[in-house]
């Protein structure tokens, strides 16, 4: 039996950064494209679309995942957090963001949202990491500008601040 694939669309209800969105999406629409171009949450960036660079990392049901390797249709009934959910505005940065600013942890800033999402979950689970653990946690996020050193410094500082 051959499936008709020309107009396979799905109604979804997904909670992103605490807001529920109802949309009709084509089956093949990638979650990264859905967030960026349907919900206009363009802070999530796309770097490779094959799951290597980590720029598109979002938090899906509490864990960090590549949004280029998920379908928008798969988020029906689930929750997603993107970089836009981290701070209410530029004047109230999350400690992770503030630490990245303080340590010069970003240059072009393109990989930054994915790094923030990865490290948000990591620091929640690992409140007192050492440098090796941070580098391990970061290893799925490519950055071409910083050489990672200032990002690592920022994460050490953020961990300290989050511990209070």
Partner 1 sequence: MKPAPFKYIVARTIEQALALKAEYGDEGRFLAGGQSLVPTLNFRLTQAAVLIDINPLTQCAGMQNSQPGTVRIGALTRYGQLERNSETARDLPLIGEALPHIAHPQIRNRGTIGGNLAHADPASEMPAIVLALAGRLRAQSQSGERWIPAAEFFGGALSTALASDEMLMEVELPVAGPRSGSCFMEVSRRRGDFALIGVACTMQFDANGLCSQARIGLCNAGDRPILAEDAGNSLLGRNIGTAQIDEAAALVQQAIDPGGSIHASKEFQRHLAGVLTRRALTVANERSPREH
Partner 2 sequence: MTTRKFGAPIRRNEDARLLVGQALFVDDVELPGLLYAAFLRSNVAHARILSIDVSAARARPGVVAVYTAADLGSYWAPGPLLVPPPPIAGIIFNQRTQVPLAKDKVRHVGEPLAVVLAESRYLAEDALADIAVELDPLPAVVDLEKALTNASATVHDDVHANVAAHLRQSRGNYAAARARAAHVIARRLLYDHGASSPMETRGVVAKWDGRADQLTVWDTTQAPVFFRNGLAAMLGLSERQVRVIAPFVGGGFGPKIMLFYPEEVVIPWVAMKLNRPVKWIEDRLEHFFATTQERGQTHDAEIALAADGRILGVQDVFLHDTGAYNPYGLTVPINSQCTLLGPYDIPNYDSTFTAVFTNKPIVTPYRGAGRQHGVFVIERLLDIAAQELNIDRAEIRRRNLIPPDAFPYNNEIIYQDFAPLSYDSGNYEPILDKALELIGYQKFLAEEQPRLRAQGRHVGIGVACYVEGTGIGPYEGAKVQVQANGKVSVATGIGTQGQGHFTVFAQIVADQLGVAVTDIDVVTGDTDQFYWGAGTFASRGAVVAGNAVNEAAIAVRQKVLKFAADHFECAEEDLEIADGQVSVVGVPGQAIKLGALALKANPMRGAVRPGTEPGLESTQYFGPPSGATASGVHAMIVEVDPQTFTLEVLKYVVVHDCGTVINPLILAGQIHGGVAQGIGNAFYEQLVFDEDGQLLNASLADYLLPTALEVPRMEIAHTVTPSPLNPLGIKGAGEAGAIPVGPLFAQAIEDALELPGKKIELLEIPLSPNRLFELTTK
130 contacts partner 2 (rule: CB under 8 A): no
- CA-closest candidate to residue 96, choices 136, 151, 141, 41: 151
Within 17-36, which residues bind partner 1 (CB under 8 A)? 26-28, 30, 33
Angstrom CA distances, 11 to 19, 74, 75, stand at 16, 11, 10
Smallest distance from the beta carbon of 43 to partner 1, in angstroms?
17
Q: How many residues does the chain have?
A: 164
Provide the token pair at 38. Answer: 């349907």
79-81 and 9-16 beta bridge pairing: parallel
- Give the per-residue contact string, 74-113, with partner 1 (x = CB under 8 A; - = no): x-x-------------------------------------
Out of 35, 41, 55, 71, the only residue in the binding site for partner 1 (CB under 8 A) is 71
Under the binding rule (CB under 8 A), the answer on residue 131 touching partner 1 is no
């Amino acid at each position: 039996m051959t499936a008709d694939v020309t107009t396979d669309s799905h109604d979804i209800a997904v909670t992103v950064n605490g807001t529920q969105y109802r949309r009709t999406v084509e089956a093949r629409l990638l979650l990264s494209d859905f967030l960026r171009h349907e919900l206009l949450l363009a802070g999530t960036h796309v770097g490779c679309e094959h799951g290597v660079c980590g720029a598109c990392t979002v938090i899906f049901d509490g864990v960090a995942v590549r949004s280029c390797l998920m379908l928008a249709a798969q988020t029906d009934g689930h929750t997603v957090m993107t970089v836009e959910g981290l701070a209410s505005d530029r004047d109230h940065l999350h400690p992770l963001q503030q630490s990245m600013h303080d340590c010069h942890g970003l240059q072009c800033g393109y990989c930054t949202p994915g790094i923030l999402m990865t490290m948000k979950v990591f620091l929640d689970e690992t409140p007192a990491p050492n440098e090796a653990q941070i580098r391990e946690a970061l290893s799925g996020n490519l950055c071409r500008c910083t050489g990672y050193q200032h990002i690592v410094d920022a994460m050490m500082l953020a961990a300290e601040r989050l511990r209070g």
